[in-house]
């Protein structure tokens, strides 16, 4: 079974669970915004990154999320002296998965998410003595995140979160993370 088939199966299974739920359904948003990080061998950089999801909650805690994640431009210098070059990478994509939001008490909550994301990456390597080399790669990999926060109103909460995204660039097992502000808003 391919990763795309798993993504479709995950969506259908979640829809079936939601159809049998006794709690009232609602729409919400969920986001993780902050510092994105990539560490792949000599390529190690941070950039402003963000993930935004629209969530359909089947009850009070469990929902299905779908959204877009963008990692800003990662850049890295290599070489020495007059032969210094620069590499850059831009990775983004769409995701679908499960989203869980559980109350610790009336103000504090925990959140977790997991699913698959279809990503697209563009890489460019340039230097003073050669023509720029450009490449592209794409794939579907696993993502997961956790966070905690404070519910400021009945509808809006914010806190800290961490999300991990697999991005198997050229089958090398690259991983990306976003650490920063996590928010949720229920309509």
* Mean per-residue pLDDT, 31-39: 89
Q: How far is 112 from 62, CA to CA, in rounded Å?
A: 10
Mean pLDDT over 13-28 rounds to 59
H/E stretch holding 39 reads strand 26-40
3-186 under CATH 2.40.160.20, yes or no? yes
Q: Are 72 and 47 in contact (CB under 8 A)?
A: yes
Sequence-distant (6+) residues with CB within 8 A of 153 are none
Domain ranges, ordered by start, for the chain: 3-186
Q: Which of 66, 68, 55, 67 is nearest to 25 (CA)?
A: 55
Give 168 or 164, the one with higher predicted confidence: 164
Render pLDDT for 103-121 as a digit per residue (tens, 0 to 9): 999 999 999 999 999 999 8
Length of the chain, in residues: 187
Side-chain half-sphere CA neighbours of 138 within 13 A? 8
State the pLDDT confidence band at 22, using cuts at 50, 70 and 90: very low
């Amino acid at each position: 079974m391919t990763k795309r088939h798993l993504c479709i199966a995950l969506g259908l299974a979640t829809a079936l669970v939601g159809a049998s739920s006794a709690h009232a359904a609602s729409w919400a948003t969920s986001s993780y915004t902050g510092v994105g990080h990539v560490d792949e061998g000599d390529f190690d950089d941070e950039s402003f990154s963000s993930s935004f999801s629209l969530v359909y909650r089947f009850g009070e805690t469990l929902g299905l999320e779908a959204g877009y994640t963008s990692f800003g431009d990662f850049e890295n210098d290599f070489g020495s002296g007059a032969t210094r070059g620069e590499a850059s990478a831009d990775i983004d994509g769409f995701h679908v998965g499960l989203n869980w939001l559980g109350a610790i008490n009336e103000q504090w909550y925990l959140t977790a998410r997991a699913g698959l994301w279809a990503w697209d990456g563009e890489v460019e390597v340039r230097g003073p003595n050669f023509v720029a080399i450009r490449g592209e790669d794409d794939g579907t990999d696993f993502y997961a995140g956790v966070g905690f926060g404070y519910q400021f109103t009945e509808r809006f909460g914010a806190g800290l979160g961490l999300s991990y995204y697999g991005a198997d660039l050229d089958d090398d097992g690259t991983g990306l993370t976003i650490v920063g502000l996590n928010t949720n808003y229920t309509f």
